């Protein structure tokens, strides 16, 4: 058991230790200082010139927002068309998958463009390798880079103390890809390949099992997709079962690397804030608050998973710890740690069935997703935390007898209005969405039975989770998967 604890402790410490220099590096990238990746300059400049963008042109918030929206709208449309017309791809489709049903294509395109990565399909039975790489993998890069670039704009805004001259979204977006996400993803993907994750373009492989039967096993360019899925707080897996699948996450070391990849950039961006604005103390304080929450959530989840399922105990089955839905090669502690990490960074990848975690563990994950700022998604997590911070500073400022001020800017009606709008949006979307689902289910129980896999209280979790992130149980378990059970219990 100690080994298990030490394992997650090491993963956490490694993430924090490496996040510090990465944060410094990101701050340099944002401010255009010299870094070792400058050899990309000619390539980036040519791309920007090709797109007709002058990277030196600094825009205000409106110009940047327009750029962000237009770019992502474009990504969405292209993704939708690709999915809806998948059957037309001439290559990288060894299994010959056809066009997607339009609503599924729409849902998936929206979801991947917004970094949500809700999957109502299974990669191995529905997506060609072309789709996996050029749509999903691509969107996982650009949606993460959008978040990081938005954060860079916020940093500059705080530096300027105004929303004019924030920088150039196009250039920041490109650099987030080429300087931050791409190098890290290559490193992680190479590591995964060395540990056994496939990266090929072959179709279904027919193998003979030990029992002498033949079955077809899905492979493909898995490793690169897993790398960006973890690093960019995306979570959209190559296979339906996500990182529980042995090809996505072959052993304990890959699991450690993938957990580390979930936390790395979100933590590094907190430090980048300190380096960029030269407010290291404040950055460490913010990191401290986030870490306090993160570790408390872990404490609850890990103890709960270790204590096991009380219902099983009542039945006389003294099963300790709770192993339902867990991969034996990772164990309950690493699974609980992943659970907290993935929900607190709004990543959404899984290495165990969250549906089978104990109730309080599940509750912690819901809280984590609701706060959405304990490190949080790349870029956007810090922005969320910043919004909470404005409200906290507003009240605390009053309590010490000053009209509230933060980073040298007064917090007045306008600032509070914007901050509270963001805060209201969250419960509004989640609660109203869940309420509509609950209403529909109450009115039409037969219909609900068809799409609601869990009855009663457990059912709520599904809606709330759905509105945020994929869970394996929402993914139809593929046929190919059914014939190749994972090592260990599931």
Partner 1 sequence: MLSKAAVESFTKLHPRLMIKNPVMFTVEIGTALMGVVTILSAFTPGAFLGEPGYNLVITLLLLLTALFGNFAEAIAEARGKAQADSLRKTRQDTPARLLKDKVETTVPSSQLRPGDQFVCTAGDIIPADGEIVEGLASIDESAITGESAPVIREAETDHSSVIGGTRVLSDRIVVLVSAQAGESFLDKMIALVEGANRQKTPNEIALTILLASFTLVFLIVTVTLKPFADFLNAPLSIAAMVSLFVCLIPTTIGALLSAIGIAGMDRALKANIIATSGKAVETAGDIDTLLLDKTGTITIGNRKATEFFPVETMDKLAFANLAALSSLADATPEGKSIVELSRQLYGTEFSTPKDAKFIKFSAETRMSGIDLTSGQKIRKGAWDAIRKWAHLSGPETALTQTQVETIAAKGGTPLAVALDHKVIGVVQLEDIIKPGIRERFTRLRKMGVKTVMVTGDNPLTAKFIAEQAGVDDFIAEAKPEDKMNYIKAEQEQGKLVAMMGDGTNDAPALAQADVGVAMNSGTQAAKEAANMVDLDSDPTKLLEVVEIGKQLLITRGNITTFSIANDVAKYFAIVPALFAATIPGLKVLDVMNLSSPESAILSAVIFNALIIPTLIPLALKGSRYRPVGASSLLSRNLLVYGLGGVLLPFAGIKLIDIVVSLFL
Nearest to 217 by CA among 128, 129, 124: 124
CB 26, CB 378: distance < 8 Å: no
CB 310, CB 366: distance < 8 Å: no
Alpha-carbon gap, residue 45 to 41, rounded angstroms = 6
Q: Which is nearer to partner 1, 65 or 423 (CB)?
A: 423
Of all residues in the chain, what percent are helix, strand and coil, respectively (each to 5)?
Answer: 65, 5, 30
Q: How far is the CB of 410 from partner 1 (least distance, A)?
A: 8
Q: Which residues contact 463 (CB under 8 A, 6 or more apart)?
A: 433, 434, 437, 438
* CA 36 to each of CA 40, 181, 227, 232: distance values in angstroms, whole numbers, following the listed order: 9, 15, 22, 21
Q: How far is the CB of 116 from partner 1 (least distance, A)?
A: 21
Q: How far is the CB of 459 from partner 1 (least distance, A)?
A: 7
Alpha-carbon gap, residue 474 to 113, rounded angstroms = 19
Q: Which is nearer to partner 1, 50 or 450 (CB)?
A: 450
Q: Which is nearer to partner 1, 199 or 416 (CB)?
A: 416
Alpha-carbon gap, residue 359 to 305, rounded angstroms = 10
Report the length, in residues, of the chain. 490
Q: Report residue 115: phi and psi, to 5°.
A: 65, 20
Q: Which residues pair with 214 in a beta bridge?
A: 208
Q: Which is nearer to partner 1, 318 or 413 (CB)?
A: 413
**3-class SS of residue 205:** strand
* CA 389 to each of CA 150, 157, 187, 384: distance values in angstroms, whole numbers, following the listed order: 18, 16, 34, 9
Q: Which is nearer to partner 1, 13 or 435 (CB)?
A: 435
Alpha-carbon gap, residue 293 to 243, rounded angstroms = 25
User: Which residue ranges make up the site for partner 1 (CB under 8 A)?
Assistant: 391, 394-404, 408, 411-413, 415-417, 420-421, 423-424, 427-428, 431-432, 434-436, 438-439, 441-442, 456-457, 459-460
Q: How far is the CB of 350 from partner 1 (least distance, A)?
A: 26
Q: Which is nearer to partner 1, 315 or 429 (CB)?
A: 429
Q: Which is nearer to partner 1, 217 or 391 (CB)?
A: 391
CA-angle at 471, arms to 469 and 472, nearest 5°: 150
Q: Which is nearer to partner 1, 34 or 417 (CB)?
A: 417
CB 290, CB 386: distance < 8 Å: no
Q: How far is the CB of 404 from partner 1 (least distance, A)?
A: 8
Q: Which is nearer to partner 1, 190 or 423 (CB)?
A: 423
Which residue's entry shows tokens 């869940």?
434
Indicate the DSSP class of residue 162: S
Q: Which residues contact 281 (CB under 8 A, 6 or more apart)?
A: 274
Alpha-carbon gap, residue 173 to 146, rounded angstroms = 6
Q: Which is nearer to partner 1, 57 or 160 (CB)?
A: 160
3-state secondary structure 69-127: HHHHHHHHHHHHHHHHCHHHCCCCCCCCCCCCCHHHHHHHHHHHHCCCCCCCCCHHHHC
Q: Which is nearer to partner 1, 34 or 414 (CB)?
A: 414
Q: Which is nearer to partner 1, 309 or 351 (CB)?
A: 309
Q: Which is nearer to partner 1, 199 or 391 (CB)?
A: 391
Q: Which residues contact 456 (CB under 8 A, 6 or more apart)?
A: none
* CA 77 to each of CA 107, 147, 196: distance values in angstroms, whole numbers, following the listed order: 12, 19, 35
């Amino acid at each position: 058991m100690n080994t298990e604890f030490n394992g997650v402790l090491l993963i956490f410490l490694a993430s924090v230790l490496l996040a510090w220099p990465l944060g410094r590096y990101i701050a340099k990238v944002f401010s255009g200082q010299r870094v070792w990746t400058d050899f990309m300059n000619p390539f980036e400049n040519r791309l920007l010139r090709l797109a007709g963008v002058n990277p030196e042109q600094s825009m205000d918030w409106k110009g940047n927002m327009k750029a962000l929206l237009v770019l992502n709208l474009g990504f969405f449309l292209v993704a939708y068309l690709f999915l809806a017309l998948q059957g037309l791809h001439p290559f990288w489709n060894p299994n010959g998958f056809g066009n997607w049903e339009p609503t599924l294509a729409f849902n998936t395109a929206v979801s991947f463009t917004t970094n949500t990565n809700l999957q109502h399909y299974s990669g191995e039975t529905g997506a060609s390798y072309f789709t996996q790489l050029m749509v999903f993998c691509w969107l996982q890069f650009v949606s993460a880079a959008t978040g990081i670039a938005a954060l860079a704009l916020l940093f500059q805004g705080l530096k300027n103390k105004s929303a004019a001259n924030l920088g150039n979204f196009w250039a920041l977006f490109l650099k987030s890809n080429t300087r931050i996400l791409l190098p890290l993803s290559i490193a992680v993907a190479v590591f995964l390949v060395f540990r056994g994750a496939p990266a090929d373009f072959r179709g279904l492989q027919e193998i003979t099992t030990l029992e002498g039967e033949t079955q077809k096993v899905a492979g493909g360019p898995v490793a690169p997709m897993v790398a960006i899925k973890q690093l960019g707080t995306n979570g959209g897996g190559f296979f339906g079962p996500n990182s529980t699948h042995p090809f996505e996450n072959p052993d304990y070391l890959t699991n450690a690397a993938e957990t580390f990849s979930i936390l790395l950039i979100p933590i590094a961006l907190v430090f980048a804030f300190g380096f960029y604005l030269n407010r290291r103390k404040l950055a460490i304080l913010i990191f401290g608050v986030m870490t306090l929450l993160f570790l408390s959530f872990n404490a609850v989840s890990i103890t709960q998973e270790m204590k096991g399922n009380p219902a099983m105990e009542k039945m006389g089955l003294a099963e300790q710890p709770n192993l339902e839905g867990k991969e034996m090669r990772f164990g309950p502690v690493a699974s609980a740690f992943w659970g907290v990490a993935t929900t607190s960074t709004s990543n959404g990848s899984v290495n165990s069935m969250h549906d089978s975690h104990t109730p309080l563990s599940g509750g912690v994950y819901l809280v984590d997703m609701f706060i959405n700022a304990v490190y949080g998604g790349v870029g956007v997590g810090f922005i969320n935390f910043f919004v909470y911070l404005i409200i906290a500073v507003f009240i605390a400022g009053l309590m010490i007898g000053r009209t509230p001020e933060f980073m040298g800017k007064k917090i007045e009606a306008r600032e509070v209005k914007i901050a509270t709008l963001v805060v209201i949006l969250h419960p509004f979307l989640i609660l109203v969405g869940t309420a509509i689902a609950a209403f529909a289910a109450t009115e039409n129980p037969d219909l609900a039975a068809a799409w609601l896999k869990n009855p009663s209280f457990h059912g709520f979790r599904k809606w709330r989770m759905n509105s945020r992130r994929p869970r394996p149980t929402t993914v139809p378990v593929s046929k190919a998967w059914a014939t190749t059970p994972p090592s260990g219990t599931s």
